[in-house]
């Protein structure tokens, strides 16, 4: 590819961290366009963020009208949008009367807050260990990174926060960890998105809930990727019969406006006290009003039903395409598992045909489209993705299934 002006500018001015696939300047619904006018079908949705697609009128109106009214105030004050959002998140999560909400700017910041919650809880019980799962991704800030046991991410930044114990996501490892004891809290993603849309073993969350409760430890669910309706319920834990002590949310919560949240349930709501935590931008009126409009629209239009139906339809149709071994995930968080580790090639073939998806694992392509997708978007996706898979298969000289 020839180096165009924008690539030179990116090279010269941006920190060297990747992210130069295209220079996108405009979006509408499930499509985005680059500076050269090239159209892409966006089935990654800013990695599970753009749940209403791009430039949705509800999003645009919310940002514009709140910006014209009151964008930001210091955290010495609250605001009507912030109060409305906190009450809404308590209702949607089932945190109820006792629940409390802290508003932040990102998933990483929500998880940092949850780590502090775990530490505060550990002070009351004397336990010092935070359990996390191998394969987990909780963010790039140093605390969240300590809970993200991947050498390539962690090693350059060692030493990281102490007191973290990663375990395998198996029932045996779970039992063994609690047999050792000293557990203040356990962090779990209901579906490990960055690991390749990997589901937990059957019964894992329920057993984690039993063991954390029995040992006086907090069960903290990272719903940054799975929350805000992505899996077809407001939060992924609601597919199961459990109540966590806390969840963290971000990504889709405001459909592209930066916002994160920690929602606590029951006694965990009493751990923070004035002066122990805060955030300058977290939950300002602009971000909160946008989240209210987005979540209100999802509720009003029953988009969760569309997430469930379209997710099932996509998985059924993708299963017939070349190279596809199986699909994983829930709702519109889908991992397409290939029969060989060529996901990066498929993603590149897709991009060259104007389709945006990504490869969180060598054999997995992740889909996280908007909750608003319909027949047209699905057909366009199947056509483009099918072509990308066929091209990869023929280049690899792989036999395609009949
Ligand atoms: C499960 C999970 N937790 C935390 C994060 C970090 O969120 P952010 O990038 O907003 O800090 C991510 C981001 O991909 C995530 O998928």
| Residue whose CA is at the smallest distance from ligand 1 atom 11 | 108
CA of 235 to the centre of ligand 1 (A): 15
CA of 392 to the centre of ligand 1 (A): 30
* Domain boundary residue, one of 267, 300, 333: 300
Q: Are residues 179 and 255 in the same domain?
A: yes
Q: Are residues 146 and 295 in the same domain?
A: yes
Q: Are residues 296 and 312 in the same domain?
A: no
| Residue whose CA is at the smallest distance from ligand 1 atom 7 | 107
| Residue whose CA is at the smallest distance from ligand 1 atom 8 | 107
CA of 37 to the centre of ligand 1 (A): 30
The residue annotated as part of the active site, out of 43, 59, 102, 137, is: 137
Catalytic site residue 251? yes
Q: Are residues 66 and 162 in the same domain?
A: yes
Q: Which atom of ligand 1 is nearest to the CA of 111?
A: 4
* Domain ranges, residue 240: 59-300
Residues in contact with ligand 1 (CB, 6 Å cut-off): 47, 106-108, 111, 137-139, 189, 193-194, 222, 224-225, 250
Q: Are residues 175 and 100 in the same domain?
A: yes
Q: Are residues 358 and 294 in the same domain?
A: no
Q: Are residues 31 and 101 in the same domain?
A: no
Q: HEC states along the chain?
A: CCCCHHHHHHHHHCCCCCCCCCCEEEEEECEEEECCCCEEEECCHHHHCCCCCECCHHHHHHHHHHHCCCCCCCCCCCCHHHHHHHHHHHHHHCCCCCCEEEEECCHHHHHHHHHHHHHHHHHHHCCCEEEEECCCCCCCCHHHHHCCCCHHHHHHHCCCCCCEEEECCCHHHHHHHHHHCCEEEEEECCEECCCCCEECCCCHHHHHHHHHHHCCCEEEEECCCCCCCCCCCCCHHHHCCCCCCEEEECHHHHECECCEEEEECHHHHHCCCCCCCCCCCCCCHHHHHHHHHHHHHHHHCCHHHHHHHHHHHHHHHHCCCCCEEEEEEECCEEEEEECCCCHHHHHHHHHHCCEECEEEECCEEEECCCCCCCHHHHHHHHHHHHHHHHHHHHHCCCCCCC
CA of 137 to the centre of ligand 1 (A): 7
CA of 93 to the centre of ligand 1 (A): 19
Q: Are residues 248 and 342 in the same domain?
A: no
The residue annotated as part of the active site, out of 59, 90, 235, 251, is: 251
**For residue 393, what is the domain's CATH number?**
3.90.1150.10
Q: Which atom of ligand 1 is nearest to the CA of 194?
A: 16
* Domain boundary residue, one of 233, 268, 300: 300
Cis geometry, peptide bond prior to residue 280 (ω within 30 degrees of 0): no
Q: Are residues 182 and 63 in the same domain?
A: yes
Question: How many independent structural domains does the chain possess?
Answer: 2
Consecutive 10-residue runs of the chain (402 residues): their mean pLDDT? 78 91 97 97 98 98 98 97 98 97 98 98 98 98 98 97 98 98 97 98 98 98 98 98 98 98 98 97 98 98 98 98 98 98 98 98 98 98 98 77 49
CA of 402 to the centre of ligand 1 (A): 38
* Domain boundary residue, one of 300, 332, 366: 300
Say what the pLDDT of residue 312 is: 98
**For residue 232, what is the domain's CATH number?**
3.40.640.10
Q: Which atom of ligand 1 is nearest to the CA of 251?
A: 10
Mutational test site, ligand 1, from 45, 113, 139, 262, max ligand atoms within 8 Å of CB: 139
**Residue 250 CB contacts under 8 Å (≥ 6 apart), including other chains:** 104, 106, 107, 110, 224, 227, 259, 260, 261
Q: Are residues 222 and 334 in the same domain?
A: no
Say what the pLDDT of residue 195 is: 97
Q: Which atom of ligand 1 is nearest to the CA of 223?
A: 1
CA of 368 to the centre of ligand 1 (A): 14
The full length of the chain comes to 402
Catalytic site residue 172? no
Q: Which atom of ligand 1 is nearest to the CA of 192?
A: 1
| Residue whose CA is at the smallest distance from ligand 1 atom 13 | 139
Q: Are residues 257 and 358 in the same domain?
A: no
Q: Are residues 324 and 354 in the same domain?
A: yes
| pTM greater than 0.75 (yes/no) | yes
Mutational test site, ligand 1, from 50, 109, 250, 279, max ligand atoms within 8 Å of CB: 250
Catalytic site residue 116? no
Alpha carbon distance, N-terminus to C-terminus of the chain: 35
């Amino acid at each position: 590819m020839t180096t165009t002006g924008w690539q030179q500018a990116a090279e010269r001015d941006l920190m060297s961290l990747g992210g130069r696939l295209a220079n996108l300047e405009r979006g509408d619904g499930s499509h985005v366009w680059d500076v050269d006018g090239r159209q892409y079908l966006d089935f990654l949705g800013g990695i599970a963020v753009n749940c209403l697609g791009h430039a949705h009128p509800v999003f645009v109106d919310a940002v514009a009208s709140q910006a014209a009214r009151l964008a930001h105030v210091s955290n010495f004050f609250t605001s009507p949008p912030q109060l409305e959002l906190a009450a809404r998140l308590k209702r949607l999560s089932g945190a109820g009367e006792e629940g409390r909400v802290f508003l932040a700017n990102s998933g990483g910041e929500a998880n940092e807050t949850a780590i502090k919650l775990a530490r505060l809880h550990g002070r009351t019980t004397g336990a010092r260990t935070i359990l996390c799962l191998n394969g987990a991704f909780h963010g790039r800030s140093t605390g969240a990174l300590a809970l993200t046991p991947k050498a390539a991410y962690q090693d350059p930044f060692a030493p990281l926060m102490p007191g973290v114990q990663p375990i395998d996501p198996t029932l045996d490892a779970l039992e063994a960890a609690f047999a050792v004891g000293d557990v203040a809290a356990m962090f779990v993603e209901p579906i490990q998105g960055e690991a390749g849309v990997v589901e937990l073993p059957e019964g894992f969350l329920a057993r984690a809930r039993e063991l954390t409760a029995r040992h006086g430890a907090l069960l903290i669910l990272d719903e940054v990727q799975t929350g805000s309706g992505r899996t077809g319920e407001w939060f992924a834990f609601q597919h199961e019969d459990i109540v966590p002590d806390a969840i963290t949310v971000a990504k889709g919560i405001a459909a592209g406006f930066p916002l994160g949240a920690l929602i606590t349930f029951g006694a965990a709501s009493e751990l923070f006290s004035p002066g122990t935590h805060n955030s300058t931008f977290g939950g300002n009126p602009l971000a909160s009003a946008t989240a209210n409009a987005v979540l209100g629209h999802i509720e009003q239009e029953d988009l969760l039903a569309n997430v469930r139906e379209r997710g099932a339809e996509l998985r059924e149709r993708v299963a017939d395409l070349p190279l596809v071994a199986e699909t994983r995930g829930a709702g519109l968080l889908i991992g397409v598992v290939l029969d060989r580790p060529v996901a990066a090639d498929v993603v590149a073939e897709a991009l060259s045909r104007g389709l945006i998806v990504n490869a969180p694992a060598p054999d997995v392509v992740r889909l996280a489209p908007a909750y608003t997708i319909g027949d047209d978007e699905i057909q366009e996706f199947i056509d483009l993705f099918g072509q990308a898979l066929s091209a990869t298969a023929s280049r690899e000289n792989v036999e395609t299934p009949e």
